[in-house]
């Protein structure tokens, strides 16, 4: 119905940067802990309809992705 969480593509990119640093010789213990910085809101209208729920247009406008 609704998902709000980190953008997976951004996490993969961030992970690749960390791996590249480790491969260049930086010790993992020397790297700072990083948190996701980009989050996304996904709404599934099909699930909402099957549950007989209506999602206000104002909420749909805020969604990063709407699944029909």
Q: Tell me: the pLDDT tens digits for 10-48?
A: 999 999 999 999 999 999 999 999 999 899 999 999 999
- Sequence-distant (≥ 6) Cβ neighbours of residue 64 within 8 angstroms: 40, 41, 42
Beta-ladder partners of 39: 6
pLDDT reported for residue 1 = 94
pLDDT, residue 9, reads 92
**Domain boundaries defined on the chain:** 2-67
Phi (first) and psi of residue 39, to 5 degrees = -120, 155
| CA distance linking residue 37 with residue 57, whole number of Å | 26
pLDDT classification of 2: cutoffs 50, 70, 90:
very high
List the structure tokens of 21: 């640093």
The answer to whether 43 touches 63, Cβ cutoff 8 Å, is yes
């Amino acid at each position: 119905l609704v998902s709000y969480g980190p953008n997976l593509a951004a996490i993969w990119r961030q992970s690749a940067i960390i791996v590249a640093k480790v491969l260049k010789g930086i010790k993992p213990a020397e790297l700072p802990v990083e948190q996701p910085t980009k989050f996304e809101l996904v709404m599934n209208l099909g699930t909402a309809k099957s549950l007989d729920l209506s999602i206000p247009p104002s909420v749909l406008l805020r969604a990063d992705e709407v699944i029909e």
